[in-house]
Amino acid sequence: MYYMIKERLVPLEDKPQGDLTVKTVQIVTLKEWQTSGATSSVHAESFKSYANIHLCKLENYADYMLGTFCIPSKQNSKQKKRFIYYIHKDGIVFVDDSDLVKALLEKMSHTRTWDTPTLETFFSNFLELLIDKDLLYLEELENRIAKMESTILNGEITHFNHTLMDFRKELLTLHYYYSQLVEVGEVLGENENDFFNEHNLRLFDFFTRRVSRLQSNVQMLREYALQVREEYQSQIDIKQNNTMRILTVVTTIFLPLTLIAGWYGMNFTYMPELRWKYGYPLVIAISLAIICLSIWICKKKKFL
């Protein structure tokens, strides 16, 4: 599948002929790319490790630029979409088995137009499209952690550790992802091999700054998650303190009764109240009085 970079992306079934000044975009699968023989002039190791692509990068070579994208899924950050991109003097080739690039280019062909179509305008727009919905996604993540915070404050903290751990892993994945995109934008802006028009390098600078803002938002969410974790720990400590306070109060109230029970449980011979007919009611009355006095003291001291 080919596209021509004109006032908009023009899809073509076959390789365009004629005007060589018009840059082209090509989408191929890895198998198609390897069987075409085009890899002979490209760094072969990048294609051997296609299945193991785990980061976004861009590298400069003598007469081309070669990079990879590894994009975490918004539904499941453990799942990734991967593709290779190859920038040469006549345009760009995307090596993609996931149909992600195809969907993005089809969307661009219907939504993007350019007064001055260039390789820089196309690729900067493509990069922008990769992060188009990311700000909304980060807002969703912020709402999720805000709900987690409300849940903690309401005392509903079941399985919280696992939930927060998964959330922090997701944020860490995004943080690394945006760090890599910033580096890609910087490499494009450096224009080491003069692939791009100097006047259009600002487009890559715009992209880099936008990704940096997204990265800052992710960092803010990571700090927010840390605060929520501290709140969770505080709630756990409060619950433990309440439990210990209750146990202390119960022990304080019933310790005198334990002493009385132990005292009379010794059954010494010369304990006249043991044979007194009012001895048992008297011990009950004394015990109740001690309980009431202990409760009154605890309330006065605000232990209860």
- Which residue range forms the structural domain that includes residue 20? 2-236
pLDDT at 35: 78
Residues 200 and 181 in one domain: yes
In whole angstroms, give the CA distance from residue 131 to residue 217.
13
Specify the number of domains making up the chain.
Answer: 2
Rounded to the nearest 10 degrees, how much is the dihedral formed by the CA atoms of 31, 100, 197, 22? 70
* Phi, psi (rounded to 5 degrees) for 267: 55, 45
The one-letter amino acid code at 174 reads L
Residues 254 and 162 in one domain: no
Residues 197 and 265 in one domain: no
Q: What is the pTM of this model?
A: 0.79
pLDDT at 121: 92
Which residues are CB-contacts of 222 (< 8 A; sequence separation ≥ 6)? 168, 171, 172, 175
Residues 14 and 32 in one domain: yes
Lowest mean pLDDT among 105-109, 187-191, 238-242, 300-304: 300-304
Residues 169 and 272 in one domain: no
Q: Are strands 80-88 and 91-96 parallel, antiparallel or unpaired?
A: antiparallel
pLDDT at 46: 56
pLDDT at 106: 92
pLDDT at 56: 93
Q: Are strands 24-28 and 91-96 parallel, antiparallel or unpaired?
A: parallel
Q: In the listed set 213, 236, 259, which residue is the last one of a domain according to the structure?
A: 236
Residues 253 and 221 in one domain: no
Residues 229 and 245 in one domain: no
Residues 223 and 96 in one domain: yes
* Phi, psi (rounded to 5 degrees) for 277: -65, -20
In whole angstroms, give the CA distance from residue 149 to residue 275.
64
Q: In the listed set 236, 271, 292, which residue is the last one of a domain according to the structure?
A: 236
Give the rounded percent of residues in the chain with a pLDDT score beyond 70. Answer: 89
Give whichever of 76-80, 121-125, 283-287 has the largest mean pLDDT: 121-125
Residues 182 and 262 in one domain: no
Residues 29 and 114 in one domain: yes
Is 44 a residue whose pLDDT tops 60? Answer: no
CATH at residue 295: 1.20.58.340
Residues 178 and 267 in one domain: no
pLDDT, one tens digit per residue, over 197-210 is 888 999 999 999 99
The one-letter amino acid code at 235 reads Q
